[in-house]
Amino acid sequence: MNEISIYNTASRRVETVVPHEAGKITMYTCGPTVYHFAHIGNLRTYIMEDVLEKLFRFAGYEVHRAMNITDVGHLTSDADTGADKMLEGARREGKTAMQIAEFYTKAFFSDCEKLNIAKPETVISATSCIADFIKLIEILLEKGYAYLSGGNVYFDTSKVKDYYVLTGHSADDLLTGVREDVTEDTNKRNKTDFVLWFTTSKFGEQELRWDSPWGFGYPGWHIECSAISLKHLGEYLDIHCGGVDNIFPHHTNEIAQSEAAIGHEWCRYWFHPRHLNDASGKMSKSKGEFLTVSLLEKKGYNPLAYRLFCLQSHYMKQLVFTFESLDNAASAYDKLKGRVAALKASVKGGEAADGAAVKEYHDRFIAVVGNDLNTSLGLTLLYDVLKADIDPATKCAIIADFDTVLSLDLLKDRGEDGGEDLSELEELLIKRAEAKRNRDWAAADAIRDRVKEAGYAILDTPEGAKLKKL
């Protein structure tokens, strides 16, 4: 198995990822709060997580990945203060919280699709897991890590041995950033305690509430990810991902409550890609415009040019966004597509790729990109392939192989962009036939499920397997 290293926030250094179970990676991603369109800065994080997942698969690991959709209880300040984001969205648009959640969940996945970000294997909305949250809160109460106060259930951070294990910061360092106009919640025993379950809310009427042993109410935000991750990925999580702004308090609180509940170390590697900023150092707006994928499209950019822009720099570096730099990425993307199209056209009929060369470059790609997810060196290797003294068919095969991780649609014809591209599914059919030949029925079934997810059935005919639209 090839080694892959990443910067681990918990140890504050680059480490080789050694999974709890050899050859198998469990990966959890904090999903979006679906009250607004996603900012391209947040999507940078999802792009890098997507590359990481695909790289592990590329290197032969089995990956199980889960992501939550926050459709209840996430507060604007990310602490237990401020307004409720879902409520804010509902008020702004005169819709119910569920309508808002549905609309923006769809919008999020549509953006992901345009950026070739694959959907994680398991995607779960918070509102569908209320019983799981209640169960976990009950365990925390039973074990003495939580308390009831003023109608709410709080997590008692003073009961945890090392609350700041993720950041290494002291309480004082982290609390100086708290805004002064925020009124302290006097129900809390300690400043860093956080709400697990609300029955009384100072954020206005909540539309979405459920029965619980502590009264009619709704869950706090942090409990979501712990409960969903523990349920779907087990008690030993390999990699937890999220935006850098989630490190404190969200991930710090996730660790506290998860480890309190299970009684041992929970997650070993914490992956936090850095922010995208504009020249003034702020991320949310550029010249007054909220930067979304649709805005880029409206301005005539291919969303994949933005993906390339992200891949050109290291995920641990803050990326400065300007339209000039996006223009450069867009022109690089066009040139790259042009070169690959010319290469494709030069492949002679019947010319087969050299398997040994493809394998050699496959391993080189892992060695390069697997070293702390160095995507820009991966791109350099791609340009090296284009220049190398290798026949066109082999070059195309190597590029197709790299593109399963880069996901830049390098071999897709430009004309196909509007229509449906079935090349990926056709490739799956070949893999399925191979799996069947090897009597690997589980793999064959998994491929059939993936094809079905893409909206196609597989018909086994005397001339071989065929795709049929569902």
Binding residues for Zn ion, rule: CB under 5 A, are 30, 225
Cβ nearer to Zn ion, comparing 30 with 319: 30
- 3-state SS, residue 124: strand
Cβ nearer to Zn ion, comparing 80 with 409: 80
Which pair of structure tokens corresponds to residue 158?
Answer: 């003073």
Residue 307: what are its φ and ψ, rounded to 5°?
-60, -45
Cβ at position 74, least distance to Zn ion in Å: 9
Cβ nearer to Zn ion, comparing 25 with 30: 30
Cβ nearer to Zn ion, comparing 8 with 252: 252
CA-nearest of 107, 7, 33, 44 to 278 is: 44
Cβ at position 414, least distance to Zn ion in Å: 39
Cβ at position 464, least distance to Zn ion in Å: 44
What is the CA angle 399-400-404, rounded to 5?
110
Cβ at position 254, least distance to Zn ion in Å: 6
Cβ at position 445, least distance to Zn ion in Å: 31
- Measured in whole angstroms, how far is the alpha carbon of residue 357 from the centre of its chain? 32
Cβ at position 378, least distance to Zn ion in Å: 28
Cβ nearer to Zn ion, comparing 19 with 31: 31
Cβ nearer to Zn ion, comparing 270 with 365: 270
Dist CA 354 CA 248 (whole Å): 50
Which pair of structure tokens corresponds to residue 204?
Answer: 């206005």
Dist CA 370 CA 381 (whole Å): 13
Quote the DSSP letter at residue 460.
Answer: E
Cβ at position 332, least distance to Zn ion in Å: 34
Cβ nearer to Zn ion, comparing 30 with 311: 30
Whether the CB-CB separation of 39 and 290 falls below 8 Å is answered with yes
> Judging by beta carbons within 10 Å of its beta carbon (0-12, 13-18, 19+), is residue 95 exposed, middle or buried?
middle
Dist CA 433 CA 400 (whole Å): 19
Q: What is the largest distance, in Å, between two alpha-carbon atoms of the chain? A: 76
Cβ nearer to Zn ion, comparing 75 with 382: 75
Cβ at position 14, least distance to Zn ion in Å: 23
Quote the DSSP letter at residue 371.
Answer: B
Which pair of structure tokens corresponds to residue 85?
Answer: 């984001």
CA-nearest of 366, 385, 374 to 312 is: 374
Dist CA 397 CA 401 (whole Å): 6
User: For residue 79, which amino acid is it?
Assistant: A
User: For residue 320, which amino acid is it?
Assistant: V
CA quadruple 337, 343, 349, 354: dihedral, nearest 10? -110
Cβ at position 41, least distance to Zn ion in Å: 17
Cβ at position 202, least distance to Zn ion in Å: 23
Cβ at position 339, least distance to Zn ion in Å: 41
Helix (H) or strand (E) holding 313: none
Cβ nearer to Zn ion, comparing 225 with 390: 225
Cβ nearer to Zn ion, comparing 36 with 240: 240
Helix (H) or strand (E) holding 7: strand 5-8
Cβ nearer to Zn ion, comparing 122 with 312: 122
Residue 413: what are its φ and ψ, rounded to 5°?
-65, 145
Neighbours of 328 (CB within 10 A): 15
